Every structure is written in structure tokens, then in C-alpha cells.
Structure 1
Amino acid sequence: MNPASSVIIFTVLSGMGLGYLALLATAHDYTGAAAFWHWAFAYALATIGLAASAFHLGNPQRAWRAFTQWRSSWLSREAWGAVLTLLAFAPLALSDWLGLGLPRGFGWVGAVLAMATVIATGMIYAQIRAVPRWHHWSVPLLYLAYALAGGCLLAGFRMPAILALVGVAGAVLLHWRVGDGAFARARSSLGSATGLGALGQVEIFEPAHTAGSYLLREMIYVVGRRHVKRLRVIALGVGVALPILALLVVPGVGGFGLAIILYLLGAFAQRWLFFAEAEHVVGLYYGRR
């Protein structure tokens, strides 16, 4: 599929922000001005990421309608989860800022909602049968791993961040291993799609149309194998191995700052590949698969 920058920004930054919010609520006890800036930064990451997703909608002004289909839509569940998460954290954020002494136990509700929201984001893609590479439980696991690693880096937890980055590497490798053969295992073809496969080999006589279309623009994208290999090296090497090395070698805040920059570069590369490598079955109708 054609990678959209708005969705890439949304999935990376919102996951990182939600992970950071969860750790602020359960493992940190900042007070006063320090609490205000930490909570404000975490809220900004989560909300900026979520706002970026609205730009990918055909009619962004109708984004509110996403809240109406929560019974059947993971997109709607994600929207509700995000709103409830931000509301659940608000009392604790105010308490830390104003020194009201609200116990950290209040933060666990928001933390659970934050992780549920991240999982819902992953399920938006995992539920799509038309994209075999995504139709697997490894997708929400991948999103959750990135959120936890990003949160640990921002929270300044050195050893948990290293372990979370190792978890990211495992989730990424699993997603690639399962996804690389998913389209072939699905056995989708022009014959199965049209129901004419029993009659023999089905081929395209003429394209459905000669002008461009939404399907050609959004659903069909082919990325070169050389680019895939290069971006996979960036995703794991720059986004996982180098941040771990920075945390182990560079002391203090400098190590975390360097690790966060490297992590983001790798996360953006992986998320771009996540969409670019997704083979939608509609491409069969155009002879692109």
C-alpha cells in the first residue's frame, strides 16, 4: 500500500506518547513544574499523533463520525480508547502538578486504557483480510512493543528500555517472518477472486480503466527489494541495535537523547515499510501481484 506520512507520524508518535503516559502514571512521581512539563510533553505526543491521522481522512471535518461505529470498527474503538485514556490520566496529571498527592494506583486505569488503545491501533490493520501480511496477531504485538520501548526511553528507564528494544527486535523479526510468505499462503489469485479459477487460467484482457483511481493510488504500491533490505537494516540496526549501544556506552541524559533520536529514525523506517510492503489483493485485478 502507498505509505501516507500522516499515518506513519500518527502510529509512531501516538504510540510513543501513550507508552510515556502509562509510565508517568505508574512509575514516576514528578511534582510541580517538572510534573507539568513531563505530562504536557506526553500529552502533546499522543494528541499530535492522533491529530495527524485526521489528515489522512477523505473528509477530516467528519472525523467525529469515527466515534459512532464502536460496535464493529476497531478505528472507532481506538478513537474512544484515546479519548478515555487522556481523560483517565487528567486527575493524576493535575495532582502531580498541584501537589495534591493522589496515589499512583489511580494511574493504572489510564495505563491499561493506553495499552488497549495501542492494541486497537494495531487491530485496525490486523483485521483486514484483504492484506494477508497484516492479518496476523503479530501486528498488535508490534505496535505494543514500539509503544513500550518509546515510553521507557522517554521515561529514562535504562535497563527496561534495553529489554523493551530487544522485544521490539523480536516483534519486528516475527512480523517479517510471518508476513513475507503471507500473500502466497493466502492463495489469492485472479481466478479465486473472480470465481472462474475452475475453468482454467484467468488472465486480464484489458484494465478496468485507463485513468488513475483511488485504488491505484492508495492500495497498489510496489517497493524495490533493494530498498526493502536497506530499510530493514535501518529499522533494526539504527532503531534497535544503536539505541541499545548508546544506552550502554553513553552515560546520563546524553545517552537517552541519542537513543531516542536513533529509535525514532528506525521506527519511522519500519513503519514506512509496514505500509509499503502490504500487498492488497485488489492488485490482482490490475496484474500487480
Structure 2
Amino acid sequence: MNPAPSVIVFTVLSGMGFGYLAMLGFGLVPVAGWAAFFGWGLGYGLAVAGLVASTFHLGNPQRALLAFTQWRTSWLSREGWAAVLTLVLLAPQALSDWLVLDWWRGFGCLGAVMCFVTVGCTSMIYAQIKAVPRWNHWIVPVQFLWAALTGGLVLAGAGLVPAAASALLAALLVLGWRIGDGRFAAVGATLGSATGLGAIGSVAVFEQPHTGGNYLLREMIYVVGRKHAERLRKIGLLAVGFVPAAALLFLPPLLAVPVAALSHLAGMAAARWLFFAEAEHVVGLYYGQR
């Protein structure tokens, strides 16, 4: 799949933003006054910036509101509703923390749960696509949810817990790559099954369907070189796992959190780029690309 920058920014920023909002909603980050203003502002800023970035991948961004009407069948629509509900539920808690009103924390806790519901809906946009075997697996929602949790813990403060979460996220990335590398073969998709002609013999491409480019070739058939993929995997593992864990354990807290957070964002950007670039759509079989 074509790794569109807008979707990468969306999944990386919104994941970390909703993860941090969940930490604030549950009260795991004790903030009050102006510290709360900037803390909640950071969480809302990351989440909203990611959601806004996602609209740039739409063919007609001005019609984004129409997506909310398809909640019965579309995970994208469900994600939109979940995101709006989450941000609304967390608003009273953010106001209470900022103005030190000591309101009941129920809305904050419910909003924190909805943060992960929102991220889960985001993951299902991809995990439910059977035409992309690498995505159509339980490991995808697990990775999205754990990445959001890890991002939130990293922003919440230094210590053993966020360091361990970062190390586990790196392990989940490795597991996802191992599973994903064999998914296309595991589902048994071939040119014969794609055309429905496999029962009568071996099927091969005689001639390309057309002589010019089209949307499918541009968006659905993207080939990343093995060397580039291996290099980005190493960068992602170091930036997501080793650097944040080391920073959170050994650097002073005031320095550890920004270093770990920036490293996490960079590592997740590399991992998300690979998430799309390595995704093989079965339509490529028609063009002899798989």
C-alpha cells in the first residue's frame, strides 16, 4: 500500500495523544492549575492534530462529515463517533483539573476508556480488510492499542513501567513483522484464486490489463526494497524500544520524558511507514506483482 504521510501522521499522533489523555483521565498523572492546562492541552493537541491530518487523505475533505452517517457498517465512521465522544467526555475533567474544582472523576475515567475504544476502532479500519492479509490478523489491534498505551505512559513520566512498556512494544513489532511476512502465503491467495481460474490449471499473466497507470497501481501496489525495510525495522526497534527505555531509566526525569517521547514518535513513524509500505493487497495478483 502507498504509505501516505497524512495517514502516518494520523495514526502516530492520535495514538500517542489518546494514550496520554487516558493517563490524565484515569488520574495517573496528578496535575492541577496551569500544569493541568498544558498537560491536557498537549493530549488534546496530539489527538486532534492526528484526526485533522487524517482528513487530508480523503478525496473530498469537505465531505468528511458524511463519514459519520455510516456507523452501522464502517469502522472509520465508528472511529469518528468514538473520537468525538471521547473528547467531549474528557472536557469536564480537563476543566476540573485546570480550575481545581475537584469534580467527580467519573467522566474522566469513562473518557479514558473511550480513548482506547477510539484507538481500537482505528486499528479495525485496517484489521478487517481481508484483501490485505498482513493486516487481517489479531496482532494489528494489539499493536495499535499497546502503542497508544506506551505513548501515554512515556508522556506521563519516567520510571520502570513506561520503560517496560516500550520494550514490550518493540517485541510486539517484531512479532507483527514475523506474522505479517508469512500472512500472504498463509491465506493461499494466488493468481488462480484471484481470477477463479485455478481449478482448470495453472494461471499466468499473459499481458498487463492496461498500458497506463491507474489508482490501483498508485495506491494498492507499492513495493519497498528488502534492504530499506530491514533498515527501517532496526531504526523502529531502537527508537521505540531501546532509546525510550534507556532514557526513562537512566536520565533525569526532566530530560528523560522529552527524549523518550521524541524517540517514540520517530520510531512509530518508521513502524507505521512500514505498516503501509509492506502491506500487500491481493489486487496485485492481477498485475503479476505478488
Question: What is the TM-score when the length of structure 1 is the normalising length?
Answer: 0.97
Residue matched to 1:209: 210
The alignment partner of 1:114 has SS state of helix
Matched, 1:5 2:5: yes
Residue matched to 1:35: 36
Query: How far apart, CA to CA, are the structure 2 residues paired with 1:128 and 1:271?
Result: 17
Residue matched to 1:228: 229
Contact 2:158 2:248 in 1 (8 A): no
The alignment partner of 2:109 has SS state of helix
Letter of the 1:216 counterpart: L
Query: How far apart, CA to CA, are the structure 2 residues paired with 1:126 and 1:29?
Result: 35
Query: How far apart, CA to CA, are the structure 2 residues paired with 1:247 and 1:156?
Result: 8
Residue matched to 1:24: 24
Query: How far apart, CA to CA, are the structure 1 residues paired with 2:198 and 2:209?
Result: 19
**Which runs of no fewer than 5 residues in structure 1 stay unpaired?**
none
Letter of the 2:20 counterpart: Y
Contact 2:31 2:97 in 1 (8 A): yes
Note the aligned Cα RMSD (angstroms): 1.1
Query: How far apart, CA to CA, are the structure 1 residues paired with 2:260 and 2:113?
Result: 26
Of residues 64-73 and 127-136 in structure 1, the stretch that sits farther from structure 2 once superposed is 64-73
Question: What is the TM-score when the length of structure 2 is the normalising length?
Answer: 0.97
Query: How far apart, CA to CA, are the structure 2 residues paired with 1:32 and 1:237?
Result: 36
Query: How far apart, CA to CA, are the structure 2 residues paired with 1:60 and 1:260?
Result: 30
Query: How far apart, CA to CA, are the structure 2 residues paired with 1:239 and 1:164?
Result: 10
Residue matched to 2:14: 14
Query: How far apart, CA to CA, are the structure 2 residues paired with 1:23 and 1:188?
Result: 42
Aligned pairs, how many?
A: 289
Residue matched to 2:110: 109
Residue matched to 1:193: 194
Contact 1:152 1:158 in 2 (8 A): no
| Aligned ranges 1:11-160 → 2 under 5 Å | 11-26=11-26, 27-160=28-161
Query: How far apart, CA to CA, are the structure 1 residues paired with 2:208 and 2:271?
Result: 33
Of residues 14-23 and 261-270 in structure 1, the stretch that sits farther from structure 2 once superposed is 261-270
Contact 1:122 1:139 in 2 (8 A): yes
Contact 2:158 2:257 in 1 (8 A): no
Query: How far apart, CA to CA, are the structure 1 residues paired with 2:17 and 2:9?
Result: 12
| Deviation, structure 1 residue 157 | 4.4
Query: How far apart, CA to CA, are the structure 1 residues paired with 2:66 and 2:179?
Result: 34
**Which runs of no fewer than 5 residues in structure 2 stay unpaired?**
none
Q: Hey, which bits of structure 1, 4+ residues long, moved more than 4 A?
A: none
